[in-house]
Structure 1
Amino acid sequence: MNNPALLALGGTLLCGALATAGLHTYVSGKAQRQALVDRLSATEHIPLGRQRRFTGVDRRLRGTTLGRKLQLKLSATGLDLTPGEFFVYMLVTVAALWLIAASLLAPFFGPIAGIIGAWSANTFLNWQRQKRIEAFINQLPDVARLLANGTSAGLALRTSLAMAAAELDAPAGEELTVVSNQLAVGRSIDETLGELAERLPSRELVVLVTTLVLSNKAGGTIVGSLRNLTETLEERKETRREVRTMLSEVNATAFTIPCLGIGAMLMLNSMNEGALAKVTGSPVGQILILVSLGLYAAGFIVIRRLGKIEV
């Protein structure tokens, strides 16, 4: 024990063993963390393979209320975009529309075009979200049918959800895969289904989620409830299709009226070059332009409201 060489050798071996054990623990922990990230990456509908742009902007934006709302809306659209990417693309589009309107029409129309560009970006997200919600609603009868079949076969609700996720196409398959992955890492059915209803809000999905949550908590005849719900969802699906067909002309009219106003301004400016610049060169002309644009916007909103029927 008094030999310094043996003490040094023993200390070296001990340090080597501890270092090897620590390295093994670090590598295994890193592999587990990466596997968890891979499983949860579907929650945001962002594949990990593509190189992301504007990561600094995205990191700062996610810490704000606007970024969190934008992330929630993007996750519901299924677009392969991060909040930072969408925000930067929107700013570039707004700047481009500002410059184009200012150069083609008059400098007064630059800020107006920028505001319209920002509104259009938000409208595009809402349209993509509603489009995905409609597609998901059309698949809800199949979701309820698969869940009923799995439950009647003796499978647990978690297993039935995973089976339905594997059987269905997008978007229902993708959304149920997110739910299945979240359940696999220990989250409760109430939380995961509640987030699904928040991402894709609709009356039909709320009814299905409420049925599943109540049956999971209190038990009961979940199979019979799901089979009855399947028939109801099929009927609502047909009703929604008929209503959408009847209102297609009204919706087309709502978009046609603003386009006619913009086309008239462009035609007037092309026939008499600089006419819009002269009109907007005085406060009275600017007020009249704003009033006319407001009337077009009001007409668009009123027609959309009249043609919006909740089923």
Structure 2
Amino acid sequence: MNNLVLPTIGVTLLCCLLGVMGVHAYAAGKSERQALVDRLSTTGQIPIVGRRKRFGGVDRRLRKTKFGKKLELKLAATGLDVTPGEYFVYMIAAVAVLWMAASSILTSFFGPLAGLTGLWGANTFLNWQRTKRTERFINQLPELSRILANATQAGLALRTAIAMAADELEAPAGEELSWVARRLAVGESLDTALGELAERLPSRELVVLVSTLVLSNRAGGTVVSSLRNLTETLEERKETRREVKTQLSQVTVTAYAVPAFGLGSLLLLNSVMPGALDRMTAALVGQVSVIAALILYAIGFVVVRRLSRIDI
């Protein structure tokens, strides 16, 4: 038996060495293949292929429903490379994880509450992504207006100016204008294409720009002077928005700190007095008290967020 120990150790070490060499060779080959694909894609020798979409069956069924159509529009506004089916599956998985985590760490009473919080958090995440992308688009509006003014002053048509701006600007303005240019190329009217853009990324600045372009296109007036004046106005609004956001940053942090203190107090109470949450949520009075406290924390969060929201 002792004679087999050394050969066994040697074979094990050899297998580990071969395994490490195999993983290294696989990683090197995969990186070389990806580099080759990227090089050939940039030269146009092979078409650019996007990533493989997951949960195709769920995505097809979900897109047929009213909820799936709304979710698809919201995901398109966020700019995330996620299908409605993928987002729905990830959301359900996150809700299940939060449910089980709250049930195991706290009590089973907090499981459904954590699941509802997960659903609210998923919708809030999409709204946050949409707002962030809209703000980035707003910050690019002065440059967009300047490019359109220069292009129209040079004698280019408005449709051509939009396509040129889509090539010069970065995302998200470049992506959105490329979408508008494609719609115009297939015969869509300028009013409809720009109107859908304003609906997808709602903001006062974009509405003003779209209205200026649409009215100039209809009436045939001089769009150059209007865009020049609009560029200066957008620059001033951009600086004002930045100053207001800086001044209200402390209030925004307070809004998120209020519910965090409530969750922290529950965890602290359960660690200091093990089983206290079980005894508290076992009675109806305790359950009502916990739900009332959570509602008050939610109201405090909404009120503080509302106080920090200033429309400019």
Provide the TM-score with structure 2 as the length reference.
0.84
For residues 213 and 61 of structure 2, the distance between their equivalents in structure 1, rounded to whole angstroms, comes to 37
In structure 1, the residue matched to 2:299 is: 298
Q: Which residue identity does 2:205 align to in structure 1?
A: E
In structure 1, the residue matched to 2:14 is: none
For residues 66 and 208 of structure 1, the distance between their equivalents in structure 2, rounded to whole angstroms, comes to 31
For residues 303 and 128 of structure 1, the distance between their equivalents in structure 2, rounded to whole angstroms, comes to 20
Q: How far did residue 130 of structure 1 move?
A: 0.5
Residue correspondences, number = 265
Q: How far did residue 215 of structure 1 move?
A: 1.0
Deviations 1:227-271 (A, max 9, x none): 110010000000000000011000000000100110010011111
For residues 170 and 138 of structure 1, the distance between their equivalents in structure 2, rounded to whole angstroms, comes to 11
In structure 2, the residue matched to 1:180 is: 181
Provide the TM-score with structure 1 as the length reference.
0.84
Deviations 1:123-179 (A, max 9, x none): 011111100000000000000000010001010011000100111111111111111
In structure 1, the residue matched to 2:8 is: none
In structure 1, the residue matched to 2:62 is: 61
For residues 211 and 52 of structure 1, the distance between their equivalents in structure 2, rounded to whole angstroms, comes to 39
Identity score, percent: 66
Write out the 4+ residue segments of structure 1 that deviate beyond 2 Å after TM superposition. Answer: none
For residues 278 and 139 of structure 2, the distance between their equivalents in structure 1, rounded to whole angstroms, comes to 50
Give the alignment of 1:247-258 within 5 angstroms: 247-258=248-259
Q: Which residue identity does 2:307 align to in structure 1?
A: L
For residues 258 and 58 of structure 2, the distance between their equivalents in structure 1, rounded to whole angstroms, comes to 38
In structure 2, the residue matched to 1:216 is: 217
Give the alignment of 1:150-169 within 5 angstroms: 150-169=151-170
Q: How far did residue 304 of structure 1 move?
A: 0.6
Q: How far did residue 221 of structure 1 move?
A: 1.2
In structure 1, the residue matched to 2:246 is: 245
Deviations 1:96-121 (A, max 9, x none): 10011011100000000000000000
Give the alignment of 1:121-160 within 5 angstroms: 121-160=122-161
Q: How far did residue 190 of structure 1 move?
A: 1.1
Q: How far did residue 60 of structure 1 move?
A: 1.5
For residues 48 and 194 of structure 1, the distance between their equivalents in structure 2, rounded to whole angstroms, comes to 31
Name the Cα RMSD after superposition: 1.0
For residues 104 and 64 of structure 2, the distance between their equivalents in structure 1, rounded to whole angstroms, comes to 37
Q: Which residue identity does 1:51 align to in structure 2?
A: R
What secondary structure sits across from 1:88 in the alignment?
helix
Q: Which residue identity does 1:62 align to in structure 2?
A: R
Q: How far did residue 272 of structure 1 move?
A: 1.4
In structure 2, the residue matched to 1:98 is: 99
Q: Which residue identity does 2:138 align to in structure 1?
A: I
Deviations 1:53-98 (A, max 9, x none): 1111111111222111111111111100011110110000001100
For residues 249 and 72 of structure 2, the distance between their equivalents in structure 1, rounded to whole angstroms, comes to 30
In structure 2, the residue matched to 1:9 is: none
For residues 214 and 68 of structure 2, the distance between their equivalents in structure 1, rounded to whole angstroms, comes to 30
What secondary structure sits across from 2:80 in the alignment?
coil
For residues 149 and 128 of structure 1, the distance between their equivalents in structure 2, rounded to whole angstroms, comes to 32
In structure 2, the residue matched to 1:111 is: 112
In structure 1, the residue matched to 2:197 is: 196
Give the alignment of 1:11-30 within 5 angstroms: none
For residues 94 and 101 of structure 1, the distance between their equivalents in structure 2, rounded to whole angstroms, comes to 11
Give the alignment of 1:221-236 within 5 angstroms: 221-236=222-237
Higher relative contact order (CA 8 A, sep 6+): 1
Q: How far did residue 48 of structure 1 move?
A: 5.5
Q: How far did residue 181 of structure 1 move?
A: 1.2
Q: Which residue identity does 2:263 align to in structure 1?
A: I
